[in-house]
């Protein structure tokens, strides 16, 4: 249950040619589909059966290493209940990546995921990388959303897609890595990419704004 | 006939194992199945509330290791099976009458005994009968949660042996016991198999009672019984359950035969006269250990782990061999109260009956932290008896209860005290009964997904009984408050009330219904954004008022409360802390009133102060996503201090349940946009006036020197706004005199009141003071002109020359 199966967060000291990029990532989706569990698995390698509901939002960070870059995710884990919808823009505004999560055992949550994708395409920064995660793949026996259906939808909309399981850790790190790979890591992308990317973090700029060589 | 040191043994424990789920299987929601022991605990809670003179009171249900359940209950005398001598007919009728009374009561409560036998009918020296462990069938969900069969074979009714049976099975068992009391034990040397066969052969008998008597060569003895008694036996021992008498009929019949008069129960005085629940509680505080005694009595045996390893484990997780469930162990371990008695021996008889008009004793323990007081035998002894007294007089004693609750609340009566603090009165059961809690609504899905995640570490809330009740409470509340909708978090808010009133759903509901309007008025509106924004803005102002340095740091890094404090206030911290902390937080909340939570928020920040001050935005937000350990006792103490030392008007909110004031002296309301922009709160004229009277304020007049010299508030100092360099965050920049006056004021914790002719300058200048880390800064509502209108007497002409003079 290592936090980073591939890459590994700890790299040899001072590998001189690594860039460090910071990206803001937001998780969206119906409540109880496993957003917080995915983040918890990714960040701490843990899984709580009775993960409590998220009110407002939670914030966590995790670093992953690609070949020549270190990517630091600033992850906003949002509340799923529709009523908290009005808070969502505060979190996805300026995000460079989003994971829209649904529960493969519940068709309604897939519908809701599609709505989130639409909203992101409309409102979020145009360059945002969106991944679709069909969570709870360990409950395949109760599957209500077919893999092919979701894959087709993802292809149509240019989304990354994986079925994940926060419980068994299947594809959890992979989906974050896939996002990290897809994010533009050239100069000027990263944090500054979208207007207001750092809106929530204006005060904290100890590192160079996006990438440093 | 029976004399022992009976008085010392008031309760006993028995133990058994709940069923183990084979393997680790998951329910349809992907969550693990609820362990049987949890289900049992949930069901058993109701038994804890049952009180009847012929039933042993259940005191506690404990979950031990490996699905072990320990049941603690009252005991008296000894069991029927322990009596060697025969009873006279009169004694028999008397015992039967009391047993029937108890069973009638249980059946009325919808509880089937099913395990009635001669070893759980207890009789004391005076012939009083109490049934022991009558809830085994009920708490195990009809035997579904245990792997052993319930009931002794010879007491099982024919239909029970065949397919389960209902309440009428108790009537049969009762009949068998009555028959045994009359003609002696049945089937004494037979093994269970043959006994069951014998019972089943009775199916063909016209009169099973007669047939059994004949089989035991007691036909004559049987025939010699008084006819009316024989009739009762035969009414019970009908083969078809529906033909059997009910217990209310049996009680009627027996009361006609029963001639023995029960001696008046003399309530013992002193310690033994206290409620059994209290005795048990004190006994535990005094060091009583249920499990240790069970081990000593051999009811819990430790075996080497190797012996409990299965021989084989199948791929699906099922195990073969290893530790297998034993039959029900009906032995009990009795507990002596000797320890507690000696511990409390020095307490005078007088102290057992505290009188309300007498001054309450002062205890040394009061200075200790609450958690320690809660574990102090003697302290809890006094407190419980005192609260019992006060609660007895509720609602007339409400003010006394509030005053006592301010000190602390004994955990054992917390549910009652909270209800009293919230003003719950009237026939709440009736009102709750009327509410439709079952009809499906669109909100159900959300409630269904939230409940299995709500405080699930608590074994009461994580069982199916807890889930069902919580859902009913939420649905009832939503139905009764159509103006509100279900916001995630409402589940957490309801949980503490359910936790404390697990078997009193109506009271949990009444408490929730009283709590929301008082503390969370309009928070659950469909559009609650303004309500929450106002609350957070006020919270931020209180932070600036009490923790200016921290506030300006957080302002600077743009760390706004919207990012972390919504769950704090929306759920009154019930989503943030575990239940054992929430109860202490809410103890204070219920006593102090609705503005305390704002200061609790500040109290939490204060505990994290050092970390926050040296953290940037990300570190701060991370800190709150995974809140570190907060010392609740400290937080409560600090927040009460802050709350009481703050002028009331500075925490004014418009979205409350209280009537809006029309009195200009009390007004502090400003448009919302202004509220969001102002870092410092506003103070009302009347609050200011009382501060002045107590010499607890320091007024800074920022008008021009010219205006100030014309007329000013007595004792104020003048710092003309035009001369202030807002960029320089140092008090020194204000000039020597103002610096000295401010320093002095800060030292004695005076409230700094900024008075100006315009709102804008007052706002900018007060921000400036906060940035200079000046605490307790607020703005005059209405500015100087309002003081001139309403409190003209405060004005004077400053003593010349104003630069040096400070009055």
The total of other beta-carbon atoms located within 10 Å of residue B289's CB is: 12
pLDDT at B801: 54
Does residue B559 sit within a domain?
yes
User: What's the CA gap between B520 and B96, in Å, rounded?
Assistant: 55
Question: Which two structure tokens, joined as six digits, stand for B541?
Answer: 């102002």
Contact B625 A105 (CB under 8 A): no
The ipTM is: 0.81
Instruction: Show which of B215, B231, B257 is a domain's final residue.
Output: B257
Contact A203 B559 (CB under 8 A): yes
pLDDT at B457: 92
Question: Which candidate, B302, B294, B300, places its Cα nearest to that of B333?
Answer: B294
CATH code of residue B639:
1.10.472.80
Instruction: Show which of B488, B519, B550 is a domain's final residue.
Output: B519
pLDDT at B458: 93
Does residue B701 sit within a domain?
yes
Question: Which candidate, B566, B496, B561, B560, places its Cα nearest to that of B528?
Answer: B566
Contact B491 A53 (CB under 8 A): yes
Q: What are the pLDDT tens digits along chain A (213 aa)?
A: 334 444 444 444 444 557 888 999 999 999 999 999 999 999 999 999 888 899 988 888 999 988 888 899 999 999 999 888 888 888 888 899 999 999 999 999 999 999 999 999 999 999 999 999 999 999 988 899 999 999 999 999 999 999 999 999 999 999 999 999 999 876 544 443 333 333 333 333 333 333 333
Does residue B265 sit within a domain?
no
User: What's the CA gap between B279 and B412, in Å, rounded?
Assistant: 11
B371 and B484 in a common domain: no
- Binning pLDDT at 50, 70 and 90, where does residue B6 land? low
Residue B129 backbone phi and psi in degrees, to 5: -110, 140
Q: Which residue has the tokens 């570490």?
A: B457
Contact B617 A86 (CB under 8 A): no
Query: Which chain B residues have a beta carbon less than 8 Å from that of A49?
Result: 31-32
Query: Which chain B residues have a beta carbon less than 8 Å from that of A138?
Result: 30
CATH code of residue B227:
1.10.510.10
Summarised one tens digit per residue, pLDDT across range B16-45 is 988 877 655 666 666 778 889 999 999 999
- Binning pLDDT at 50, 70 and 90, where does residue B733 land? confident
pLDDT at B638: 95
Which structural domain, as residue segments, surrounds residue B500? 428-519
A70 burial type by CB count under 10 A (0-12 exposed, 13-18 middle, 19+ buried): buried
A162 alpha-carbon distance from chain centroid: 12
Helix and strand element counts for chain B (H, E): 35, 16
Q: Which residue of A has its CA nearest to B448?
A: A32
Question: Which candidate, B158, B157, B215, places its Cα nearest to that of B186?
Answer: B215
Query: Which chain B residues have a beta carbon less than 8 Å from that of A87?
Result: 562, 566
Q: Which residue of A has its CA nearest to B32?
A: A49
Does residue B188 sit within a domain?
yes
Contact A204 B616 (CB under 8 A): yes
Select the residue of B488, B526, B562 nearest A53 (Cβ to Cβ).
B488
Contact B467, B451 (CB under 8 A): yes
CA distance B31 to chain A (A): 6
Contact B558 A142 (CB under 8 A): no
Interface of A with B (CB under 8 A): 31-32, 49-61, 74, 79-81, 83-84, 86-87, 90, 105, 136, 138-139, 142, 167, 200-204, 206
pLDDT at A69: 85
B370 and B244 in a common domain: no
The region, left, alpha or beta by phi > 0 then psi within -120 to 50, assigned to residue B164 is left
Summarised one tens digit per residue, pLDDT across range B771-789 is 999 999 999 998 898 888 8
Does residue B346 sit within a domain?
no
Summarised one tens digit per residue, pLDDT across range B348-384 is 888 888 877 776 667 777 788 888 999 999 999 999 9
How far, in Å, are B155, B172, B187, B210 from residue B195 at the CA level? 10, 15, 7, 17
Does residue B663 sit within a domain?
no
Select the residue of A53, A74, A201 nearest B453 (Cβ to Cβ).
A53
Count of domains for chain B: 6
Q: Which residue of A has its CA nearest to B489?
A: A55
Residue that wins the pLDDT comparison between B405 and A49 = B405
Q: What DSSP string runs through B112-124?
A: ------TTSEEE-
- Helix (H) / strand (E) element for B172: namely helix B168-183
Q: Is the peptide bond before B395 cis (omega within 30 degrees of 0)?
A: yes
B52 and B85 in a common domain: no
Does residue B486 sit within a domain?
yes
Contact B625 A58 (CB under 8 A): yes
Instruction: Show which of B484, B519, B554 is a domain's final residue.
Output: B519
User: What's the CA gap between A98 and A75, in Å, rounded?
Assistant: 9
Radius of gyration of chain A (CA): 16
Q: CA end-to-end span of chain A, whole Å? A: 31
B331 and B393 in a common domain: no
Report percent pLDDT > 90 for chain A: 55
Summarised one tens digit per residue, pLDDT across range B635-693 is 999 999 999 999 999 999 999 888 877 888 888 889 999 999 999 999 999 999 999 99
E strand map for B40-145: 58-63, 68-74, 78-79, 121-123, 129-131
B206 and B91 in a common domain: yes
Does residue B139 sit within a domain?
no
CA angle B16, B294, B54 (to 5 degrees): 70
Contact B564 A56 (CB under 8 A): yes
B413 and B477 in a common domain: no
Report percent pLDDT > 70 for chain B: 95
pTM: 0.89
Query: Which chain A residues have a beta carbon less than 8 Å from that of B614?
Result: none
CATH code of residue B730:
3.40.250.10
Summarised one tens digit per residue, pLDDT across range B196-217 is 999 999 988 889 999 999 988 8
B90 and B70 in a common domain: no
The total of other beta-carbon atoms located within 10 Å of residue A95's CB is: 26
B399 and B500 in a common domain: no
Whether the per-residue pLDDT at B525 is higher than 80: the answer is yes
CA distance B489 to chain A (A): 7
pLDDT at B729: 85
**Which one of B462, B488, B571 makes the best mutation probe of the A interface by having the most chain A beta carbons within 10 Å?**
B488
Contact B471, B448 (CB under 8 A): yes
B226 and B110 in a common domain: yes
**Average pLDDT over chain B, rounded to whole?**
89
Q: Is the peptide bond before B648 cis (omega within 30 degrees of 0)?
A: no
CA distance B509 to chain A (A): 22
Whether the per-residue pLDDT at B70 is higher than 90: the answer is yes
Question: Which two structure tokens, joined as six digits, stand for B193?
Answer: 């198999």
Residue that wins the pLDDT comparison between B155 and B3 = B155
Residue A112 CB contacts under 8 Å (≥ 6 apart), including other chains: A29, A30, A102
Q: Which residue of B has its CA nearest to A50?
A: B453
CATH code of residue B444:
1.10.8.270
Contact A203 B616 (CB under 8 A): yes
Average pLDDT over residues B684-709: 92
Contact A56 B562 (CB under 8 A): yes
B102 and B210 in a common domain: yes
Q: How many residues does chain B have?
A: 807
CA distance B492 to chain A (A): 10
Contact A203 B488 (CB under 8 A): no
Query: Which chain B residues have a beta carbon less than 8 Å from that of A83?
Result: 485-488, 526
B771 and B641 in a common domain: no
Contact A60 B622 (CB under 8 A): yes
**Which one of A62, A90, A204 makes the best mutation probe of the B interface by having the most chain B beta carbons within 10 Å?**
A204
Question: Which two structure tokens, joined as six digits, stand for B326?
Answer: 């034993």
Interface of B with A (CB under 8 A): 26, 28, 30-32, 446, 449-450, 452-457, 462, 485-489, 491-492, 526, 529, 556-559, 562-564, 566-567, 570-571, 575, 616-619, 621-622, 624-626
User: What's the CA gap between B452 and B730, in Å, rounded?
Assistant: 53
**Average pLDDT over chain A, rounded to whole?**
81
A125 alpha-carbon distance from chain centroid: 15
Contacts across the A-B interface (CB distance below 8 Å): 103
B457 and B549 in a common domain: no
E strand map for B30-168: 58-63, 68-74, 78-79, 121-123, 129-131
């Amino acid at each position: 249950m290592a936090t980073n199966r591939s890459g590994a967060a700890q790299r040899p000291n001072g590998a001189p040619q690594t860039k460090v990029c910071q990206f803001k990532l937001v998780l969206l989706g119906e409540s109880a589909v496993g957003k917080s569990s995915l983040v918890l698995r990714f960040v701490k390698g843990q899984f709580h059966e009775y993960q409590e509901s998220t009110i407002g939002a939670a914030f966590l960070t995790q670093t992953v290493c690609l070949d020549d870059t270190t990517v630091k995710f600033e992850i906003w884990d949002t509340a799923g209940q529709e009523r908290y919808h009005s808070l969502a823009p505060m979190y996805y505004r300026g995000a460079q990546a989003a994971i829209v999560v649904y529960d493969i055992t519940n068709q309604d949550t897939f519908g809701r995921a599609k709505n989130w994708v639409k909203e992101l395409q409309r409102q979020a920064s145009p360059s945002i990388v969106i991944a679709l995660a069909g969570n709870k793949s360990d409950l395949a026996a109760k599957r209500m959303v077919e893999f092919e259906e979701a894959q087709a939808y993802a292809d149509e909309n240019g989304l990354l897609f994986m079925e994940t399981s926060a419980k068994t850790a299947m594809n959890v790190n992979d989906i974050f890595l896939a996002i990290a790979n897809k994010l533009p890591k050239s100069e000027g992308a990263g944090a500054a990419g979208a207007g207001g990317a750092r809106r929530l973090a204006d005060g904290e700029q100890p590192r160079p704004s996006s990438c440093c060589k | 006939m029976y004399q022992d040191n009976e008085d010392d043994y008031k309760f006993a424990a028995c133990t058994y194992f709940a069923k183990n789920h084979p393997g680790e299987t998951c329910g349809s929601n992907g969550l693990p199945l609820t362990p049987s022991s949890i289900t049992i605990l949930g069901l058993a809670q109701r038994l804890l509330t049952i009180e009847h003179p012929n039933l042993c009171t259940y005191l506690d249900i404990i979950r031990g290791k490996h699905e072990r359940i320990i049941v603690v209950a009252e005991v008296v005398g000894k069991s029927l099976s322990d009596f060697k001598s025969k009873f006279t007919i009169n004694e028999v009728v008397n015992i039967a009458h009391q047993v029937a009374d108890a069973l009638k009561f249980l059946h009325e409560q919808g509880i089937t005994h099913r395990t009635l036998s001669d070893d759980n009918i207890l009789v004391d020296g005076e012939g009083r009968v109490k049934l022991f462990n009558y809830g085994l069938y009920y708490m195990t969900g009809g035997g579904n949660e245990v792997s052993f069969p319930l009931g002794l074979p010879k007491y099982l009714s024919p239909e029970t042996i065949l397919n389960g049976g209902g309440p009428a099975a108790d009537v049969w068992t009762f009949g068998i016991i009555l028959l045994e009391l009359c003609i002696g034990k049945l089937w004494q040397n037979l093994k269970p198999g043959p006994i069951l066969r014998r019972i089943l052969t009775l199916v063909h008998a016209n009169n099973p009672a007669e047939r059994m008597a004949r089989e035991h060569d007691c036909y004559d003895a049987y025939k010699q019984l008084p006819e009316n008694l024989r009739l009762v036996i035969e009414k019970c021992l009908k083969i078809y359950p529906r033909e059997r008498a009910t217990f209310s009929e049996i009680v009627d019949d027996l009361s006609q035969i029963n001639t023995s008069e029960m001696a008046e129960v003399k309530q013992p005085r002193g310690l033994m006269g206290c409620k059994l629940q209290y005795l048990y509680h004190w006994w535990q505080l005094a060091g009583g250990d249920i499990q240790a005694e069970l081990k000593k009595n051999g009811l819990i045996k430790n075996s080497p782990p190797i012996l409990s390893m299965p021989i084989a484990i199948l791929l699906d997780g099922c195990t073969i061999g290893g530790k297998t469930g034993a039959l029900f162990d009906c032995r009990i371990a009795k507990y002596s109260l000797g320890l507690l008695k000696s511990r409390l021996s020095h307490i005078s008889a007088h102290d057992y009956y505290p009188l309300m008009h007498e001054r309450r004793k002062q205890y040394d323990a009061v200075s200790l932290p609450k958690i320690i007081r809660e574990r102090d035998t003697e302290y809890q002894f006094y407190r419980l008896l005192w609260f019992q007294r006060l609660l007895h007089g509720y609602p007339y004693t409400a003010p006394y209860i509030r005053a006592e609750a301010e000190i602390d609340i004994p955990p054992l009566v917390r549910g009652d005290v909270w209800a009293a603090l919230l003003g719950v009165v009237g026939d709440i059961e009736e009102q709750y009964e009327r509410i439709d809690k079952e009809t499906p609504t669109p909100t159900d899905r959300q409630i269904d997904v939230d409940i299995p995640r709500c405080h699930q570490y608590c074994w009461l809330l994580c069982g199916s009984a807890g889930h069902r009740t919580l859902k009913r409470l939420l649905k009832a509340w939503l139905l009764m408050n159509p103006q509100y909708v279900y916001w995630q978090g409402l589940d957490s808010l309801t949980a503490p009330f359910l936790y404390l009133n697990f078997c009193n759903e109506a009271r949990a509901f009444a408490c929730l219904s009283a709590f929301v309007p008082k503390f969370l008025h309009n928070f659950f509106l469909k559009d609650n954004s303004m309500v929450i924004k106002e609350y957070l803005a006020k919270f931020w102002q209180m932070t600036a008022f009490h923790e200016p340095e921290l506030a300006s740091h957080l302002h600077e890094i743009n760390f706004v409360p919207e990012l972390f404090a919504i769950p704090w206030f929306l759920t009154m911290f019930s989503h943030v802390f575990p239940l054992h902390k929430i109860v202490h937080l809410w103890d204070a909340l219920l006593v102090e009133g609705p503005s305390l939570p704002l200061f609790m928020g500040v109290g939490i920040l204060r505990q994290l102060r050092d970390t926050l001050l040296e953290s940037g935005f990300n570190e701060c937000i991370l800190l709150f996503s995974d809140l570190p350990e907060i010392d609740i006792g400290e937080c409560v103490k600090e927040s009460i201090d802050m709350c009481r030392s703050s002028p009331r008007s500075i925490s004014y909110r418009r979205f409350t349940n209280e009537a809006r004031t029309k009195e200009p002296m009390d007004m502090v309301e400003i448009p919302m946009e202004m509220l969001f922009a102002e870092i410092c709160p506003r103070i009302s004229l009347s609050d200011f006036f009382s501060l002045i009277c107590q010499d607890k304020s320091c007024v800074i007049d920022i008008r021009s020197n010219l205006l100030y010299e014309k007329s000013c508030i007595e004792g104020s100092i003048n710092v003309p706004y035009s001369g202030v360099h807002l960029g320089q965050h140092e008090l020194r920049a204000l000039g020597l005199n103002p610096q000295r006056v401010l320093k002095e004021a800060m030292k004695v914790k005076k409230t700094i009141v900024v008075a100006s002719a315009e709102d804008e300058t007052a706002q900018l200048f007060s921000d400036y003071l906060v940035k200079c880390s000046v605490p307790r800064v607020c703005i005059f509502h209405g500015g100087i002109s309002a003081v001139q209108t309403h409190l003209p007497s405060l004005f004077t002409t400053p003593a010349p020359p104003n630069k040096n003079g400070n009055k």
